[in-house]
Structure 1
Amino acid sequence: MRAFFRLVAATILAFGVAGCTSVSYYAQALEGHVKIMAARRDVGKLINDPSTSEALRARMESAREIRQFAVDELALPDNRSYRSYVDVGPEAVTWAVFAAPEFSLTPHAWCFPVYGCVPYKGYFSKKSATEFAAGLQRQGLDVHVTGITAYSTLGWSKDPLLSTMLTQGDTHLAEVVFHELAHQRVYIHGDSEFNEAFAVAVETTGVRKWLRAAGDTAGLRRYEADRRRRADFLALVSQTREELRHIYESSGTVSEKRAAKAAAFERLRTRYRRLRDDRWHGYRAFDAWFDAPINNAKLAVVSVYDAQVKSFLRLFDLCSGDYPRFYASVEQLGKLNKADRARALESAQACYDAGHS
Structure 2
Amino acid sequence: MMARIPLDKAIEQSGQTEREMLEKVRPILDFAATEIGLPVKGSYHSYVSLERDYPVYVVTAAPEFSLDAKLWCYLVIGCASYRGYFDYSKALQYAKNLQQVESVDVYVRGANAYSTLGWFDDPILPSMLRYGEVYLAELLFHELTHQKIYLNGDTDFNEALASAVAEIATGQWLEQQNENQNLQNADIGNYQQSLQMREDFDALIAVHKSRLLTLYNAVSAVELDSDALVENRAAKQALSEQLMTDYQALKSSKWKGDDRYDNWFNEPVNNARLSGISSYRENVAMFKAMYADCGNDFARFFESLKDKQVDEALAASCH
Q: Identify the TM-score tier after normalising by the shorter chain.
A: over 0.9
- Measured after TM superposition, the shift of residue 90 of structure 1 is 6.8
The answer as to whether partners of 2:305 and 2:313 remain within 8 angstroms in 1 is: no
The answer as to whether partners of 1:82 and 1:161 remain within 8 angstroms in 2 is: yes
Say yes or no: does 1:77 pair with 2:62: no
TM-score, with structure 2 as normaliser: 0.92
Query: Which residue of 94, 97, 101 maps to 2:59?
Result: 97
Say yes or no: does 1:58 pair with 2:33: no
Gap change, CA 1:248 and 1:199, over 3 Å in 2: same
What is the distance in 1 between the residues matched to 2:43 and 2:159? Answer: 19
The answer as to whether partners of 1:43 and 1:64 remain within 8 angstroms in 2 is: no
What is the distance in 2 between the residues matched to 1:72 and 1:113? Answer: 32
Give the corresponding residue for 2:225.
none
Give the corresponding residue for 2:167.
204
Give the corresponding residue for 1:284.
259
Say yes or no: does 1:88 pair with 2:56: no
For structure 1, list consecutive stretches of 5 or more residues without a partner in the other structure. Answer: 1-36, 353-357
The answer as to whether partners of 1:89 and 1:163 remain within 8 angstroms in 2 is: no
2:189 partner amino acid:
R
The answer as to whether partners of 2:150 and 2:158 remain within 8 angstroms in 1 is: yes
- Measured after TM superposition, the shift of residue 294 of structure 1 is 1.4
Q: Deviations over 1:125-181 (max 9, x none)?
A: 000000000011102100011111000100100100100000000000001100000
Q: Deviations over 1:325-351 (max 9, x none)?
A: 21111115xx23x34543x15xx4xx1
**90-99 vs 267-276, which moves further:** 90-99
Query: Which residue of 258, 270, 275 maps to 2:250?
Result: 275
Say yes or no: does 1:308 pair with 2:283: yes
Say yes or no: does 1:222 pair with 2:190: yes
Q: Deviations over 1:36-71 (max 9, x none)?
A: x22112112333x3x432222211111111111111
For structure 2, list consecutive stretches of 5 or more residues without a partner in the other structure. Answer: 223-227
Helix, strand or coil at the partner of 1:269: helix
Gap change, CA 1:69 and 1:340, over 3 Å in 2: closer
Give the corresponding residue for 2:206.
238
2:4 partner amino acid:
R
Helix, strand or coil at the partner of 1:241: helix
Misfit runs of 4+, over 6 Å: none
The answer as to whether partners of 1:86 and 1:163 remain within 8 angstroms in 2 is: yes
TM-score, with structure 1 as normaliser: 0.83
Alignment of 1:257-272 (within 5 A): 257-272=232-247
1:260 partner amino acid:
A
Number of aligned pairs? Answer: 306
Helix, strand or coil at the partner of 1:144: strand
Once the two structures are aligned, what percentage of the paired residues are identical? 39
Alignment of 1:12-23 (within 5 A): none
2:146 partner amino acid:
H
Give the corresponding residue for 1:124.
86
- Measured after TM superposition, the shift of residue 205 of structure 1 is 0.9
